[in-house]
A and B are shown apart, each in its own frame.
Chain A
Amino acid sequence: SAVISQKPSRDICQRGTSLTIQCQVDSQVTMMFWYRQQPGQSLTLIATANQGSEATYESGFVIDKFPISRPNLTFSTLTVSNMSPEDSSIYLCSVDWGGGDTEAFFGQGTRLTVV
């Protein structure tokens, strides 16, 4: 399996500011995803990060709030914009190599607290 690194691992941010989270993979991957995990809850898919084109967002998530970049096959960023305390969550990057099995692997997550 590849190594998936997320930066920062945690942050405390002021409301109204924005935070950009980076996800770096040590090998090329087909698919990259961003998930949100609110405190004590399960994972919810935010969007699929598409290489060379706009991300595909799930219902309830919009580009203005969560802009995503994916400039190449090993790197993606998620920005949480104009933050409020409700955005306090763990944000997780996930990758999949495609092929027959969807065995998604996850980074360690970014724990965000908005005050």
Chain B
Amino acid sequence: GESVGLHLPTLSVQEGDNSIINCAYSNSASDYFIWYKQESGKGPQFIIDIRSNMDKRQGQRVTVLLNKTVKHLSLQIAATQPGDSAVYFCAENINDYKLSFGAGTTVTVRA
């Protein structure tokens, strides 16, 4: 499954499929980006980050892609599991360690 556009609020994906969550950021001067996962009743949890001098970074089952030309960030989750159901936020570093968060995408994994 894939979310498209500036901020599609929900993404439904079949268990075992790959998920792609998209995010458009606003500040061309941003040099650091983070993806967070927020489960119900909890604070955001760090997933993966990427600096502006990179265009791809991989973690465990997750990959972040950065396209600075169009100011676009994506998070790919491989073999999506029920535990991946959550709201996912991208965040950009604006200055002095402050983060600006995107609208968020709710991911629901179908069994």
Contact = CB atoms under 8 A, between A and B. Distances in A.
Interface size class of B (residues with CB under 8 A): 20 to 34
Contacts of A105: 46
Given A48-B96, A48-B98, A98-B97, A107 B43 contact: yes
Interface of B: 32, 34, 36, 41-46, 49, 51, 89, 91, 93, 96-104
A42 interface: yes
Closest 9 CB pairs of A and B: A106-B43, A43-B101, A42-B101, A102-B97, A108-B43, A109-B43, A106-B44, A102-B93, A96-B97
Which of B32, B34, B91, B99 has the largest count of A CB atoms less than 10 A from its CB?
B99
Contacts, number: 56
Which of B42, B44, B93, B100 has the largest count of A CB atoms less than 10 A from its CB?
B44
Contact of A108 (B42, B51, B101, B104): B42
A5 to B, nearest CB: 11
Given A33-B98, A48-B96, A101 B43 contact: no
Contacts of B99: 45, 94, 102, 104
A82 B51 CA distance: 41
Contacts of A107: 43
A21 B9 CA distance: 30
Given A101-B32, A109-B43, A31 B97 contact: yes
A11 interface: no
